[in-house]
Structure 1
Protein backbone atom coordinates (compact mmCIF):
# COMPACT_ATOMS: atom_id res chain seq x y z
CA UNK A 1 0.00 0.00 0.00
CA UNK A 2 1.45 3.37 -0.97
CA UNK A 3 1.82 6.28 1.41
CA UNK A 4 -1.04 8.52 0.22
CA UNK A 5 -3.52 5.66 0.42
CA UNK A 6 -2.51 4.92 3.99
CA UNK A 7 -4.22 8.06 5.23
CA UNK A 8 -7.72 7.02 4.26
CA UNK A 9 -7.67 3.38 3.18
CA UNK A 10 -8.80 0.41 5.23
CA UNK A 11 -5.72 -1.19 6.74
CA UNK A 12 -6.53 -3.08 9.91
CA UNK A 13 -10.14 -4.10 9.41
CA UNK A 14 -12.62 -3.61 6.62
CA UNK A 15 -14.03 -0.54 8.34
CA UNK A 16 -10.89 1.19 9.60
CA UNK A 17 -9.53 4.46 8.30
CA UNK A 18 -5.86 4.97 8.73
CA UNK A 19 -5.10 8.40 10.06
CA UNK A 20 -7.60 8.61 12.85
CA UNK A 21 -8.87 5.26 14.05
CA UNK A 22 -8.23 1.89 15.59
CA UNK A 23 -11.12 -0.51 15.45
CA UNK A 24 -12.20 -3.13 17.90
CA UNK A 25 -15.09 -5.54 17.67
CA UNK A 26 -18.48 -4.54 16.31
CA UNK A 27 -20.52 -1.92 18.15
CA UNK A 28 -23.60 -2.50 20.23
CA UNK A 29 -25.92 -0.35 18.10
CA UNK A 30 -26.93 -0.71 14.51
CA UNK A 31 -24.71 1.51 12.30
CA UNK A 32 -27.51 3.73 11.03
CA UNK A 33 -27.45 7.51 10.69
CA UNK A 34 -28.39 9.20 12.86
CA UNK A 35 -28.41 7.12 16.05
CA UNK A 36 -31.87 6.57 17.42
CA UNK A 37 -32.38 8.61 20.57
CA UNK A 38 -29.01 10.29 20.25
CA UNK A 39 -28.32 13.78 21.49
CA UNK A 40 -26.03 15.98 19.48
CA UNK A 41 -23.67 18.47 21.03
CA UNK A 42 -25.56 21.53 22.19
CA UNK A 43 -22.72 24.01 22.38
CA UNK A 44 -20.77 25.86 19.70
CA UNK A 45 -17.41 26.00 21.40
CA UNK A 46 -14.58 23.50 21.07
CA UNK A 47 -13.80 21.24 24.00
CA UNK A 48 -10.81 21.93 26.21
CA UNK A 49 -7.61 20.18 25.04
CA UNK A 50 -6.92 18.20 28.19
CA UNK A 51 -8.68 15.93 30.64
CA UNK A 52 -6.20 15.67 33.48
CA UNK A 53 -8.76 16.44 36.17
CA UNK A 54 -10.10 13.59 38.27
CA UNK A 55 -13.70 12.75 37.39
CA UNK A 56 -15.56 9.93 39.08
CA UNK A 57 -12.61 9.01 41.29
CA UNK A 58 -10.12 8.21 38.51
CA UNK A 59 -6.98 10.25 37.92
CA UNK A 60 -7.00 10.78 34.19
CA UNK A 61 -3.69 11.02 32.31
CA UNK A 62 -2.44 14.31 30.95
CA UNK A 63 -2.54 14.18 27.15
CA UNK A 64 -0.56 16.73 25.18
CA UNK A 65 -0.54 16.90 21.40
CA UNK A 66 2.43 18.04 19.34
CA UNK A 67 2.55 21.73 18.45
CA UNK A 68 2.50 20.59 14.80
CA UNK A 69 -0.81 18.75 15.11
CA UNK A 70 -4.25 19.96 16.17
CA UNK A 71 -7.49 18.11 16.83
CA UNK A 72 -10.40 20.55 16.90
CA UNK A 73 -13.49 19.16 18.66
CA UNK A 74 -16.53 21.17 17.60
CA UNK A 75 -19.69 21.44 19.73
CA UNK A 76 -18.39 18.76 22.08
CA UNK A 77 -20.82 19.63 24.86
CA UNK A 78 -24.11 18.27 26.18
CA UNK A 79 -26.44 19.58 28.89
CA UNK A 80 -26.82 16.08 30.40
CA UNK A 81 -23.86 15.39 32.76
CA UNK A 82 -23.91 11.65 32.02
CA UNK A 83 -23.75 12.21 28.28
CA UNK A 84 -21.08 14.87 28.74
CA UNK A 85 -18.96 12.33 30.63
CA UNK A 86 -19.21 9.95 27.66
CA UNK A 87 -18.24 12.76 25.30
CA UNK A 88 -15.25 13.66 27.48
CA UNK A 89 -13.82 10.16 27.62
CA UNK A 90 -14.59 9.45 23.96
CA UNK A 91 -12.67 12.58 23.03
CA UNK A 92 -9.67 11.64 25.17
CA UNK A 93 -9.59 8.12 23.70
CA UNK A 94 -9.03 9.63 20.26
CA UNK A 95 -6.54 12.21 21.54
CA UNK A 96 -4.54 9.51 23.33
CA UNK A 97 -3.93 7.73 20.02
CA UNK A 98 -2.93 10.94 18.27
CA UNK A 99 -0.51 11.73 21.10
CA UNK A 100 0.97 8.22 20.96
CA UNK A 101 1.81 8.75 17.28
CA UNK A 102 3.29 12.22 17.72
CA UNK A 103 5.31 11.03 20.72
CA UNK A 104 6.35 7.77 18.98
CA UNK A 105 4.99 5.85 21.97
CA UNK A 106 2.89 2.84 20.88
CA UNK A 107 2.87 1.59 24.50
CA UNK A 108 1.21 4.78 25.71
CA UNK A 109 -0.43 4.39 29.12
CA UNK A 110 -3.14 6.86 28.08
CA UNK A 111 -4.21 4.56 25.25
CA UNK A 112 -4.59 1.74 27.78
CA UNK A 113 -6.47 4.01 30.16
CA UNK A 114 -9.24 4.83 27.67
CA UNK A 115 -9.47 1.46 25.89
CA UNK A 116 -10.66 -1.97 26.96
CA UNK A 117 -8.61 -5.07 26.21
CA UNK A 118 -10.83 -5.61 23.17
CA UNK A 119 -9.79 -2.34 21.49
CA UNK A 120 -6.36 -1.70 22.99
CA UNK A 121 -4.44 -4.27 20.92
CA UNK A 122 -5.82 -2.96 17.65
CA UNK A 123 -5.15 0.63 18.66
CA UNK A 124 -1.50 -0.18 19.33
CA UNK A 125 -1.18 -2.05 16.03
CA UNK A 126 -2.45 1.02 14.21
CA UNK A 127 -0.10 3.36 16.07
CA UNK A 128 2.86 1.14 15.20
CA UNK A 129 2.09 1.56 11.51
CA UNK A 130 3.33 5.10 11.96
CA UNK A 131 6.05 4.67 14.56
CA UNK A 132 7.68 1.64 12.92
CA UNK A 133 8.06 3.67 9.71
CA UNK A 134 9.37 6.71 11.56
CA UNK A 135 6.29 8.77 10.71
CA UNK A 136 4.36 11.32 12.72
CA UNK A 137 1.21 13.31 11.92
CA UNK A 138 0.99 17.04 11.32
CA UNK A 139 -1.68 19.55 10.41
CA UNK A 140 -5.23 19.49 11.68
CA UNK A 141 -8.26 17.24 11.98
CA UNK A 142 -11.77 18.48 12.66
CA UNK A 143 -13.91 16.30 14.95
CA UNK A 144 -17.59 17.23 14.70
CA UNK A 145 -21.25 16.21 14.77
CA UNK A 146 -21.14 14.17 18.00
CA UNK A 147 -24.24 12.05 18.67
CA UNK A 148 -24.39 10.35 22.05
CA UNK A 149 -26.87 8.35 24.11
CA UNK A 150 -27.13 5.59 26.70
CA UNK A 151 -28.30 2.20 25.43
CA UNK A 152 -30.85 0.02 27.20
CA UNK A 153 -27.99 -2.01 28.68
CA UNK A 154 -26.31 1.08 30.15
CA UNK A 155 -23.50 1.30 27.60
CA UNK A 156 -22.62 4.62 26.04
CA UNK A 157 -23.06 4.94 22.29
CA UNK A 158 -21.11 7.69 20.54
CA UNK A 159 -21.02 8.54 16.85
CA UNK A 160 -18.87 11.40 15.53
CA UNK A 161 -17.21 12.59 12.34
CA UNK A 162 -13.55 13.31 11.60
CA UNK A 163 -12.37 15.44 8.68
CA UNK A 164 -8.77 14.46 7.87
CA UNK A 165 -8.28 16.62 4.78
CA UNK A 166 -5.98 19.13 6.46
CA UNK A 167 -3.75 16.45 8.01
CA UNK A 168 -0.59 14.81 6.68
CA UNK A 169 2.06 12.30 7.67
CA UNK A 170 5.66 13.43 8.03
CA UNK A 171 8.72 11.20 8.18
CA UNK A 172 10.90 12.10 11.15
CA UNK A 173 14.17 11.30 9.34
CA UNK A 174 13.57 12.47 5.77
CA UNK A 175 10.91 15.11 6.63
CA UNK A 176 8.89 13.91 3.63
CA UNK A 177 5.26 15.02 3.93
CA UNK A 178 2.33 13.08 2.45
CA UNK A 179 -0.99 14.91 2.46
CA UNK A 180 -4.37 13.32 3.00
CA UNK A 181 -6.31 13.19 -0.29
CA UNK A 182 -9.08 15.77 -0.61
CA UNK A 183 -11.79 13.18 -1.17
CA UNK A 184 -15.12 12.30 0.50
CA UNK A 185 -13.46 9.21 1.98
CA UNK A 186 -11.32 11.54 4.09
CA UNK A 187 -14.42 12.37 6.13
CA UNK A 188 -14.92 9.43 8.46
CA UNK A 189 -17.69 8.48 10.85
CA UNK A 190 -16.64 6.82 14.11
CA UNK A 191 -19.06 4.52 15.92
CA UNK A 192 -18.12 3.67 19.51
CA UNK A 193 -19.53 1.69 22.37
CA UNK A 194 -18.23 2.70 25.79
CA UNK A 195 -18.71 0.99 29.14
CA UNK A 196 -18.21 2.62 32.50
CA UNK A 197 -15.46 1.17 34.68
CA UNK A 198 -15.58 0.82 38.46
CA UNK A 199 -13.53 4.04 38.66
CA UNK A 200 -16.02 5.96 36.55
CA UNK A 201 -14.10 5.97 33.27
CA UNK A 202 -16.04 5.43 30.04
CA UNK A 203 -13.69 3.01 28.29
CA UNK A 204 -14.08 2.28 24.60
CA UNK A 205 -15.11 -1.37 24.20
CA UNK A 206 -15.80 -1.40 20.46
CA UNK A 207 -15.03 1.00 17.63
CA UNK A 208 -15.76 0.88 13.92
CA UNK A 209 -15.38 3.53 11.25
CA UNK A 210 -17.06 4.27 7.95
CA UNK A 211 -15.00 6.39 5.52
CA UNK A 212 -17.13 8.77 3.49
CA UNK A 213 -20.15 8.53 5.81
CA UNK A 214 -20.02 12.19 6.88
CA UNK A 215 -20.90 15.26 4.83
Structure 2
Protein backbone atom coordinates (compact mmCIF):
# COMPACT_ATOMS: atom_id res chain seq x y z
CA UNK A 1 0.00 0.00 0.00
CA UNK A 2 1.30 3.57 -0.14
CA UNK A 3 -0.27 1.57 -1.05
CA UNK A 4 -0.57 2.74 -2.00
CA UNK A 5 -0.98 8.13 -3.94
CA UNK A 6 -4.32 8.39 -5.88
CA UNK A 7 -7.88 8.28 -7.09
CA UNK A 8 -10.37 5.43 -7.07
CA UNK A 9 -13.06 5.10 -9.72
CA UNK A 10 -16.39 3.58 -8.69
CA UNK A 11 -17.77 0.72 -10.75
CA UNK A 12 -21.27 -0.70 -10.35
CA UNK A 13 -21.06 -4.46 -9.91
CA UNK A 14 -24.48 -5.99 -9.14
CA UNK A 15 -25.38 -5.06 -5.57
CA UNK A 16 -21.82 -4.30 -4.53
CA UNK A 17 -19.74 -1.20 -5.23
CA UNK A 18 -16.19 -2.04 -6.28
CA UNK A 19 -13.38 0.50 -6.50
CA UNK A 20 -10.39 0.95 -8.70
CA UNK A 21 -7.31 2.78 -7.61
CA UNK A 22 -4.78 4.35 -9.89
CA UNK A 23 -1.81 3.94 -7.61
CA UNK A 24 -1.12 3.77 -3.96
CA UNK A 25 -1.54 7.28 -2.64
CA UNK A 26 -0.14 9.40 -5.48
CA UNK A 27 -1.25 12.81 -6.58
CA UNK A 28 -1.85 11.43 -10.08
CA UNK A 29 -5.50 12.14 -10.82
CA UNK A 30 -6.04 9.96 -13.89
CA UNK A 31 -8.32 7.07 -12.88
CA UNK A 32 -7.56 3.49 -13.90
CA UNK A 33 -10.07 1.20 -15.57
CA UNK A 34 -8.84 -2.06 -14.02
CA UNK A 35 -9.28 -3.06 -10.41
CA UNK A 36 -6.18 -3.26 -8.28
CA UNK A 37 -5.80 -2.77 -4.63
CA UNK A 38 -8.48 -1.85 -2.20
CA UNK A 39 -12.05 -0.89 -1.96
CA UNK A 40 -15.59 -1.96 -1.88
CA UNK A 41 -18.50 -1.79 0.46
CA UNK A 42 -20.84 -4.18 2.18
CA UNK A 43 -21.83 -4.70 5.74
CA UNK A 44 -21.32 -7.43 8.22
CA UNK A 45 -18.36 -8.22 10.36
CA UNK A 46 -14.74 -8.85 9.53
CA UNK A 47 -12.46 -10.17 12.23
CA UNK A 48 -9.62 -7.68 12.50
CA UNK A 49 -6.29 -9.22 11.54
CA UNK A 50 -3.53 -8.94 14.12
CA UNK A 51 -1.38 -5.89 13.40
CA UNK A 52 2.18 -6.22 12.18
CA UNK A 53 4.58 -3.53 13.36
CA UNK A 54 7.71 -2.21 11.70
CA UNK A 55 10.84 -3.88 13.05
CA UNK A 56 12.07 -0.83 14.96
CA UNK A 57 10.87 2.73 15.45
CA UNK A 58 13.51 5.44 15.91
CA UNK A 59 12.72 8.05 18.55
CA UNK A 60 10.27 10.68 17.37
CA UNK A 61 8.95 8.64 14.45
CA UNK A 62 5.45 7.14 14.34
CA UNK A 63 5.03 3.44 14.98
CA UNK A 64 3.71 1.78 11.83
CA UNK A 65 1.30 -1.13 12.34
CA UNK A 66 -0.72 -2.77 9.57
CA UNK A 67 -3.00 -5.84 9.64
CA UNK A 68 -1.11 -9.13 9.44
CA UNK A 69 -2.63 -9.88 6.02
CA UNK A 70 -1.05 -6.73 4.56
CA UNK A 71 2.51 -7.69 3.59
CA UNK A 72 5.34 -6.24 1.54
CA UNK A 73 8.36 -7.34 -0.43
CA UNK A 74 10.81 -4.47 -0.80
CA UNK A 75 13.52 -5.46 -3.24
CA UNK A 76 15.22 -2.10 -2.83
CA UNK A 77 18.95 -2.61 -2.45
CA UNK A 78 21.21 -0.81 0.01
CA UNK A 79 23.34 1.68 -1.91
CA UNK A 80 25.99 2.40 0.72
CA UNK A 81 25.19 6.10 0.37
CA UNK A 82 23.64 7.36 3.68
CA UNK A 83 21.32 9.86 1.98
CA UNK A 84 20.11 7.47 -0.72
CA UNK A 85 19.48 4.71 1.81
CA UNK A 86 17.60 7.17 4.04
CA UNK A 87 15.42 8.21 1.08
CA UNK A 88 14.52 4.57 0.42
CA UNK A 89 13.82 3.90 4.10
CA UNK A 90 11.55 6.92 4.54
CA UNK A 91 9.71 6.18 1.28
CA UNK A 92 9.08 2.64 2.55
CA UNK A 93 7.71 3.99 5.81
CA UNK A 94 5.40 6.38 3.92
CA UNK A 95 4.00 3.51 1.86
CA UNK A 96 3.27 1.46 4.98
CA UNK A 97 1.85 4.50 6.79
CA UNK A 98 -0.72 5.01 4.00
CA UNK A 99 -1.86 1.39 4.36
CA UNK A 100 -2.03 1.89 8.13
CA UNK A 101 -4.26 4.94 7.64
CA UNK A 102 -6.50 2.92 5.30
CA UNK A 103 -6.75 0.04 7.78
CA UNK A 104 -7.60 2.46 10.60
CA UNK A 105 -9.97 4.40 8.30
CA UNK A 106 -8.31 7.74 9.08
CA UNK A 107 -7.74 10.08 6.09
CA UNK A 108 -5.72 12.47 8.26
CA UNK A 109 -3.56 9.90 10.04
CA UNK A 110 -0.47 11.39 11.66
CA UNK A 111 1.78 8.57 10.41
CA UNK A 112 1.55 9.24 6.66
CA UNK A 113 1.51 13.01 7.27
CA UNK A 114 4.84 12.59 9.07
CA UNK A 115 6.36 11.32 5.80
CA UNK A 116 4.51 13.46 3.23
CA UNK A 117 3.55 17.05 2.52
CA UNK A 118 2.12 19.15 -0.30
CA UNK A 119 0.42 17.46 -3.23
CA UNK A 120 1.68 14.02 -2.14
CA UNK A 121 -0.09 14.36 1.21
CA UNK A 122 -3.23 15.72 -0.47
CA UNK A 123 -3.25 12.82 -2.93
CA UNK A 124 -2.88 10.28 -0.14
CA UNK A 125 -5.69 11.89 1.85
CA UNK A 126 -8.04 11.63 -1.13
CA UNK A 127 -6.94 8.04 -1.75
CA UNK A 128 -7.51 7.01 1.87
CA UNK A 129 -10.87 8.79 1.99
CA UNK A 130 -12.12 6.63 -0.90
CA UNK A 131 -11.44 3.52 1.17
CA UNK A 132 -13.18 5.05 4.16
CA UNK A 133 -16.22 6.00 2.08
CA UNK A 134 -16.51 2.43 0.76
CA UNK A 135 -15.61 0.69 4.03
CA UNK A 136 -12.66 -1.14 2.52
CA UNK A 137 -8.95 -1.64 2.95
CA UNK A 138 -6.00 -3.38 1.30
CA UNK A 139 -4.96 -7.00 1.73
CA UNK A 140 -2.30 -9.27 0.25
CA UNK A 141 1.32 -8.87 -0.84
CA UNK A 142 2.70 -5.82 -2.63
CA UNK A 143 6.17 -5.90 -4.17
CA UNK A 144 8.45 -2.89 -4.79
CA UNK A 145 11.42 -3.06 -7.18
CA UNK A 146 13.48 -1.35 -9.91
CA UNK A 147 14.26 1.63 -7.69
CA UNK A 148 16.44 4.58 -8.66
CA UNK A 149 17.47 7.41 -6.31
CA UNK A 150 19.14 10.68 -7.26
CA UNK A 151 20.26 13.16 -4.61
CA UNK A 152 19.98 16.74 -5.81
CA UNK A 153 21.23 20.08 -4.59
CA UNK A 154 19.34 21.88 -1.84
CA UNK A 155 18.43 18.82 0.21
CA UNK A 156 16.07 17.24 -2.32
CA UNK A 157 15.95 13.86 -4.02
CA UNK A 158 14.21 12.13 -6.93
CA UNK A 159 12.91 8.58 -6.47
CA UNK A 160 11.64 6.26 -9.18
CA UNK A 161 10.29 2.77 -8.42
CA UNK A 162 7.89 0.06 -9.55
CA UNK A 163 5.01 -1.54 -7.67
CA UNK A 164 3.62 -5.02 -8.32
CA UNK A 165 -0.05 -5.16 -7.23
CA UNK A 166 -0.74 -8.59 -8.76
CA UNK A 167 -1.12 -10.19 -5.33
CA UNK A 168 -2.76 -7.24 -3.55
CA UNK A 169 -6.51 -6.78 -3.46
CA UNK A 170 -9.41 -4.80 -2.02
CA UNK A 171 -11.11 -6.12 1.09
CA UNK A 172 -14.62 -5.27 2.30
CA UNK A 173 -14.39 -4.36 5.98
CA UNK A 174 -17.89 -5.32 7.02
CA UNK A 175 -18.06 -8.69 5.26
CA UNK A 176 -14.42 -9.70 5.17
CA UNK A 177 -14.84 -10.41 1.45
CA UNK A 178 -11.73 -10.01 -0.74
CA UNK A 179 -12.19 -8.80 -4.30
CA UNK A 180 -9.71 -10.99 -6.19
CA UNK A 181 -9.12 -9.45 -9.61
CA UNK A 182 -7.24 -10.83 -12.64
CA UNK A 183 -3.64 -9.80 -13.27
CA UNK A 184 -3.11 -7.46 -16.22
CA UNK A 185 -0.33 -5.14 -17.36
CA UNK A 186 -2.01 -2.44 -15.27
CA UNK A 187 -1.22 -4.44 -12.12
CA UNK A 188 2.28 -2.98 -12.46
CA UNK A 189 2.72 0.70 -11.61
CA UNK A 190 5.66 3.09 -11.93
CA UNK A 191 6.07 5.96 -9.44
CA UNK A 192 8.11 9.14 -9.63
CA UNK A 193 8.57 11.07 -6.40
CA UNK A 194 10.23 14.26 -5.21
CA UNK A 195 11.45 14.27 -1.62
CA UNK A 196 12.95 16.91 0.65
CA UNK A 197 15.02 16.42 3.78
CA UNK A 198 13.36 18.38 6.59
CA UNK A 199 14.88 19.89 9.74
CA UNK A 200 14.35 16.63 11.61
CA UNK A 201 16.35 14.67 9.02
CA UNK A 202 13.28 12.95 7.56
CA UNK A 203 12.99 12.61 3.78
CA UNK A 204 9.46 13.86 3.22
CA UNK A 205 7.67 13.08 -0.06
CA UNK A 206 6.34 16.34 -1.53
CA UNK A 207 5.16 15.11 -4.92
CA UNK A 208 4.34 11.64 -6.21
CA UNK A 209 2.96 10.68 -9.61
CA UNK A 210 2.18 7.26 -11.04
CA UNK A 211 1.47 5.48 -14.30
CA UNK A 212 -0.10 2.06 -14.72
CA UNK A 213 1.08 -0.50 -17.26
CA UNK A 214 4.56 0.99 -17.66
CA UNK A 215 6.85 -1.16 -19.80
CA UNK A 216 9.62 -0.56 -17.25
CA UNK A 217 7.70 -2.45 -14.58
CA UNK A 218 6.36 -5.47 -16.47
CA UNK A 219 7.57 -8.90 -15.23
TM-score bucket of the superposed structures, by smaller chain:
0.7 to 0.9
- Measured after TM superposition, the shift of residue 4 of structure 1 is 5.7
Aligned to 1:53: 58
Q: 1:131 to 1:50 in 2, by over 3 A?
A: farther
CA distance in 2, matches of 1:136, 1:50: 22
CA distance in 1, matches of 2:122, 2:201: 22
Correspondence 1:101-140 to 2 at 5 A: 101-140=102-141
- Measured after TM superposition, the shift of residue 177 of structure 1 is 1.8
CA RMSD for the aligned pairs?
A: 2.7
Deviation string for 1:87-141 (max 9, x for gaps)? 1111111111011112222221011100113321221110011111110111111
How many correspondences in the alignment? 185
- Measured after TM superposition, the shift of residue 76 of structure 1 is 3.8
- Measured after TM superposition, the shift of residue 210 of structure 1 is 1.1
TM-score by length of 1: 0.77
Deviation string for 1:180-208 (max 9, x for gaps)? 43001110011100001111111001100
Give 5+ residue unaligned stretches, structure 2.
Answer: 1-9, 12-16, 38-52
Aligned to 2:20: 6
CA contact (8 A) 1:167 1:180 kept: no
CA contact (8 A) 1:4 1:179 kept: no
TM-score by length of 2: 0.75
Give 5+ residue unaligned stretches, structure 1.
Answer: 21-47
